Chain A
Amino acid sequence: MSLSVDIRKRLGDFALEVSFDTQDAGVLALLGPSGCGKSMTLKCIAGVERPDSGRIVLDGRVLFDSSARVDLPPQERHVGYLFQNYALFPNMSVWKNVLAAAHALPRDQREAAARDAIRRMRLEGLEGHRPAELSGGQQQRCAMARILVSRPDVILLDEPFSALDGYLRWQLEMELADTLGAFGGEVVLVSHNRDEVYRLCDTVCVISDGRGEPRIGIRELFEAPRTLAAALISGCKNVSRAAPRGEGLLRCEDWGVTLRTTLPVRNATHAGIRAHYLRHCPEGVATSSLTAGRAGEKNLIAGAVERVIESTFSTIVMVRTPGGGSLRWELQKGEWRSVREGLGADGRVCLAVAPADVMPLTDDARAEAMKEVPAP
């Protein structure tokens, strides 16, 4: 049971190039900012859009193959698609909507299948309602019931929670996780929300500017992203241009400092530090070596407080570094209060970062561009 996708499509001056497979992927997420080509990828899999070239195979069935001229119509693909706006037929009741998807079943099983899906999606009593009479959550469940009745081999979810209000999302997320857990086939979810992806998915492909990166585990994305795009989409707030300086050392241009890291630095073009991994190190201010741009044993970065932003549950402190770039430092409100008391009038502060938290990153697009330069 797996879905394998390798497609290319041009749209004006935007080029989509995505390849992944769902073998042992669990719930797979396509994660990327809005307009990066995630939805287009799903539409190509479902067959409502046609890629320029490539191949899509689902459980050994070729759905699309440009070289073999195979292009199955959406009706024959057995792909369940949860649209962003759920796409319920507005002129039909919940019952008719679900029943409409059951027509591939033998005539005498259709009603039973529809009733079963309605019960599983807890829509009993709403059968006679039109979609416009349902809440956002009910609409989503109705769309899922419709998909389940059509017995798909794979379910594609396109930003399933974007049409919902914040506090409804949480409950629906848990419900959807249960539904997807009970579904035996492949699941691909498209989202720009990293938290949603972290809670619902097992593996992830980061897509940036139409280019899909190799699949990685969901924990790896947050603990040790290897590319710049993955670091940014996983919420890393601090990135600097950087170059390797021998084993375990990264020269960070924008911060004017060389940092130690326990992660491999080969091919690194950038360095990333998560805002809440920075620690206050009061005794570091006196260390003279800092001015020379060497972080020393403790991986210290000197700077001056530039701006303080009070957020809902934390305080964000912008610290100007010797390299000219700013670091975003996020800490508990109480912690900031005690730091502030020890601060001098000049606002000088020293931050420490554990070598395991300095992430060497590769800018894929740039690495790709360097590869294309012919060897002299």
Chain B
Amino acid sequence: MDWYPLLNSLRIAAVSTVVVFLAGIWLANHVARAPRGVRAVLDVVLTLPLVLPPTVVGYLLLLMLGPRRPLGLWFMETFSIKLTMVWYAAVFATVVVSFPLMYRTARGAFESFDQTLADAARTLGRSDAWVFWRVKLPCCRQGIVAGSVLAFARALGEYGATSMIAGYTPGSTATVSTTVYQLWRTGDDALALQWVLVNLAISAVVLIAMNMFEARQREGAAPRVRRRSVG
């Protein structure tokens, strides 16, 4: 069995999770504090990929990044870099599709953050950056980790947009999900089933890891429930 599709999938998911992690936190933090009107519009735009069919996302990406489209043409002429039908082209697809999962979970965490903690830190002379890195992020850690794991899992399983923008080239752009489709299409049921099992195993591991993290968080908090005891 050629393990290239698995390595490629993990590589794509890892890169896209890093991008989504940074962009998701940054945007979620700003949207959570934006005025109501702006927030409503941005929220729709940023969540749209969650409900759009992946093929629509793929089509829109091709409109921008395709070899004869403005961005694609510019990158080709300036850097001689192809933006489609290469392994990293799939990263564009997975970033767009998994972004809403990170963004929404992180935004929920930021919105439930107690703003008086930030106000207190500022009256004590600490900078906004210190508040963000030392108080806000640690307080919202659970939501951020959950969002990252979900985004990673979603990126790992992305098929629709990936197949349109990166296609299926064995040993080059093949991922686990496009390989399963290709094997089924060519009637190689036995090998397809093997990849399905690999996929199931990865998904299970990711979800178990997430549950364990949440359980540890709760356990860590448990002895601290002695709140307001007399003393």
Instruction: Flag if B124 contacts A100 (CB, 8 Å).
Output: yes
Question: With an 8 A cutoff between CB atoms, is B68 at the interface?
Answer: no
Chain B: minimal CB distance from A35 (Å): 17
Question: What does the 1/0 interface line of B178-196 toward A look like (CB < 8 Å)?
Answer: 0000000000000000000
Question: What does the 1/0 interface line of B190-231 toward A look like (CB < 8 Å)?
Answer: 000000000000000000000000000000010111111111
The segment out of B13-21, B37-45, B87-95, B112-120 that lies at the interface is B112-120
Instruction: Flag if A132 contacts B119 (CB, 8 Å).
Output: no
| Residue in contact with A132 in the complex, picked from B120, B123, B225, CB distance below 8 Å | B225
Instruction: Flag if A132 contacts B231 (CB, 8 Å).
Output: no
Question: With an 8 A cutoff between CB atoms, is B138 at the interface?
Answer: yes
Q: List A contacts of B123 (CB < 8 A).
A: 46-48, 74-75, 77, 79-81, 150
Question: With an 8 A cutoff between CB atoms, is A135 at the interface?
Answer: yes
Give the interface residue-count category, chain A: 35 or more
Chain B: minimal CB distance from A168 (Å): 8
Report the separation of the CA atoms of residues A147 and B229 in the bound assembly, to the nearest whole angstrom: 24
Chain B: minimal CB distance from A82 (Å): 9
| Residue in contact with A90 in the complex, picked from B139, B226, B231, CB distance below 8 Å | B139
Q: Nearest B residue to A136 by beta-carbon distance?
A: B228
Question: What does the 1/0 interface line of B123-145 toward A look like (CB < 8 Å)?
Answer: 11111000000110011000000
Report the separation of the CA atoms of residues A266 and B139 in the bound assembly, to the nearest whole angstrom: 58
Q: List A contacts of B121 (CB < 8 A).
A: 89, 100
Q: List A contacts of B224 (CB < 8 A).
A: 130, 132-133
Q: Nearest A residue to B124 by beta-carbon distance?
A: A101
Chain B: minimal CB distance from A3 (Å): 14
* Chain B interface residue count, Cβ-Cβ cutoff 8 angstroms: 26
Main secondary structure of the interface of A (DSSP, over half): loop
Chain A: minimal CB distance from B165 (Å): 41
Question: What does the 1/0 interface line of A67-83 toward B look like (CB < 8 Å)?
Answer: 00000011101011101
Instruction: Flag if B124 contacts A83 (CB, 8 Å).
Output: no
Report the separation of the CA atoms of residues A182 and B96 in the bound assembly, to the nearest whole angstrom: 59
Instruction: Flag if A135 contacts B139 (CB, 8 Å).
Output: no
Report the separation of the CA atoms of residues A267 and B122 in the bound assembly, to the nearest whole angstrom: 46
Question: With an 8 A cutoff between CB atoms, is A138 at the interface?
Answer: yes
Question: With an 8 A cutoff between CB atoms, is A193 at the interface?
Answer: no
Question: What does the 1/0 interface line of A20-52 toward B look like (CB < 8 Å)?
Answer: 000000000000000000000001001110000
Q: List B contacts of A75 (CB < 8 A).
A: 122-123, 125-127
Question: With an 8 A cutoff between CB atoms, is A343 at the interface?
Answer: no
Instruction: Flag if B127 contacts A46 (CB, 8 Å).
Output: no
Q: List B contacts of A79 (CB < 8 A).
A: 123
Instruction: Flag if B135 contacts A150 (CB, 8 Å).
Output: no
Chain A: minimal CB distance from B180 (Å): 43
27 contacts between A and B (CB under 8 A): A43-B119, A46-B119, A73-B122, A74-B119, A81-B123, A83-B116, A87-B119, A87-B120, A90-B139, A91-B135, A91-B138, A91-B139, A100-B121, A100-B124, A100-B126, A132-B224, A132-B226, A132-B227, A133-B223, A133-B226, A134-B231, A135-B228, A137-B231, A147-B124, A150-B123, A150-B125, A168-B230
User: Which residues of A approach B to under 8 Å, CB–CB?
Assistant: 43, 46-48, 73-75, 77, 79-81, 83-85, 87, 89-92, 100-101, 103-104, 130, 132-138, 146-147, 150, 165, 168
Known pairs A46-B123, A100-B126, A101-B126 / 4 extra A-B pairs, C-beta < 8 Å: A81-B119, A89-B121, A135-B229, A135-B230
